[in-house]
Structure 1
Amino acid sequence: MKPAYPIRAPALRRAWLFVPGADIRSHAAALASGADAIVADLEEMTTPEDRPMARERIVAMLREAASLGLIGAARINKLENDGYADLEGIMPGAPHAVFLPHTETSDQLVVLDAALSEFERIHDIVQGTTEIVPTIESAKGLVALGTLLTVNPRIRCCMLAVEDLAANLGARRTPEGRELLYARSRFLMECIAADCVPIDLPCTYQSPATLAADMDLSTQLGFTSKCVVFAGHVDAVNRVLTPSTDAADAARATLAAYEAQGAYAADANNWVDAPKRNNAKRLLARYKAFQRDK
């Protein structure tokens, strides 16, 4: 069997860049963008008439991603639509992950697992190595998420969509995104409880200022992974989600100050509270993980 190629661990995958399935120029730009994962989209970004051609091009993109040590993935259509044809077309490229849109029921995931197992057998891919990434795009999917994430060990990451979710909720979209704050918070909690990496919804506004505010909220909530729909957003997302050496040094200083201060602070203005200590520990652990992953 073909050996599984080395890839970045789920917790260290930062930007997941989505690109149209048939657009080879977008594929090339994505592969050079710095994104940890490239997701070729056969659903919303590819018209039905372009899907046969797109599947062939995606296979080439997946192989190139593997050669570069990147995660090559694809979002297929729902299996009751063109999903089986999508899998038949892309599995020769051994995608590391397959995104399932509009995930709402356990049955959808069970059927996809069976289909992947069959295609893995056909294409001599190690059984069970193709990850499933459920995409949550509705209230029904979000409410069922705790159950969905336990269906299959292929599920290591899960993604929250944005525009279809907002439409399903009847939410009025704004750059600030307050209308989806509860959905993002609940999604993250359900994923963390299931030991699954939550991929935050994409910022679908191109403005750098809007992206910066969105990333500030995303990291404040606790997200460490992000869907991206504009290649120009990748650098900013990676920068925010990768602790710098200066940040690591500051975290070490915070931990040292916490240990040295004792039970009571002589100077209340310099007191290091437990939340600040916890944030420093978390940042330093992530920094060390990225250093080991180089």
Structure 2
Amino acid sequence: MDARSYLFVPGDRPERFKKALDSGADAVVIDLEDAVAPAAKQAAREGLQRWLSTADPARLMVRVNAVGTLWHVDDVDMVRASGVSAMMLPKSDSAQQLADVAARLPSRIRIVALIETVAGVVAMREIAGAPSVMRLAFGTVDFCGDAGIEGLGVELDYVRSQMVIESRYAGLPAPIDGVTLELDDLARLTGHVATARRFGFGGKLCIHPRQVEPVNRGFAPSEDDRSWAARVLAASREHPEGAFAVDGKLVDRPVIERAKRIAEFDARIR
């Protein structure tokens, strides 16, 4: 649930599955939706079902086709019979939609709700509170198309803030930011990660293995973060009651909790 990088791999390209798993991505999303042409969807599903019967499902999830499409029901049935413990639902538009899908899945399978429509944004509080939802993700490109918004930067600041707030309110992990389309522009990717992290996001969708390492690095504590957290926690042990100062700045309970989160996250990824 604390995954930083979610790497998409086309569901009809099984020769790429191992490469995706070897990329260092925290989670690999085998995509039966946008990455697969309509004529290839049935064959992709059947091939994925065979592959999953022999695969380690630990870091895998499947993005099924959206509710109401010709392929959705069969996709969900395949996921239900597989060993995966997570599924990504595109165009998550309502809590009722999530409940209907979850009712067809065993309780061990949790759902990443991909918010990529205006309806999904309007219903985000109810979606985040749905019992089956493990995390929210932002489908920025599709959302802009639905909303008529041009641009993936400051034009989406309001929605990003709302997604972080609703995730926190529902007790979910920090949400997952959308893709960076430029595959060879490391500076742009790094900038997108930094912006998402400042807004309170905890991960990012990736569309190529080369994006994984910068994303993982960008959402991990920096050396300065680690050093600061260690100093704060050491000082808090010396001052178990009341506020104190570290590096000339006031430290109180919320600051100590942030330092603890950095130390705990750092321990998990090392």
Q: Same fold (TM over 0.5)?
A: yes
8 Å CA contact retained: 2:136, 2:163: no
State the shift of 1:182 in Å: 1.3
1:128-167 superposed matches below 5 A:
128-151=107-130, 153-167=131-145
Q: TM-score, normalised by structure 2?
A: 0.86
Provide, for residues 152-171 of structure 1, a one-character-per-residue CA deviation record: whole Å limited to 9, x for no partner.
x2211121111111112222
Question: Where does residue 261 of structure 2 map in the other structure?
Answer: 282
In structure 2, stretches of 5+ residues that fail to align are: none
Structure 2 equivalent of residue 190 of structure 1: 166
| Alignment equivalent of 1:77, drawn from 40, 44, 65 | 65
Q: Provide the residue aligned with 1:45 in structure 2.
A: 35
Find 2:217's aligned residue among 239, 246, 249: 239
Shift of 1:234: 0.6
Provide the C-alpha distance between the structure 1 equivalents of 2:85 and 2:256, rounded to a whole number of angstroms.
Answer: 36
> The residue matched to 1:226 in structure 2 has which SS?
strand
The code of the aligned residue for 2:110 comes to: E
TM-score by length of 1: 0.79
Deviation string 1:160-196 (CA, Å, 9 cap, x unpaired) is 111111112222125xx11111111111111111012
Q: 1:231 to 1:188 in 2, by over 3 A?
A: same
In the TM superposition, what is the alpha-carbon distance from 1:271 to its structure 2 partner? 0.9
| Residue 100 (structure 1) shift | 1.4
Alignment of 1:221-236 (within 5 A): 221-236=199-214
Distance 2:177 2:129 in 1: 19
Q: Which runs of 5 or more residues in structure 1 are unaligned?
A: 1-9, 117-126
Distance 1:226 1:282, change over 3 A: same
How many Å separate the matches in 2 of 1:235 and 1:65?
A: 24
CA contact (8 A) 1:129 1:154 kept: no
Give the aligned CA root-mean-square deviation in angstroms: 2.7
Compared with structure 1, are the counterparts of its residues 188 and 65 closer, same or farther at alpha carbon in structure 2 (3 Å cutoff)?
farther
Q: Deviations over 1:88-123 (max 9, x none)?
A: 34443322212111111222112212222xxxxxxx
Aligned residue for 1:22, secondary structure, equals: coil
Distance 2:36 2:232 in 1: 49
Q: Is the helix fraction higher in 1 or 2?
A: 1
Paired residue secondary structure (2:62): strand
* Distance in structure 1 (CA, Å) of the matches to 2:59 and 2:243: 47
- What is aligned with 1:101? 90
SS where residue 203 of structure 1 aligns? coil
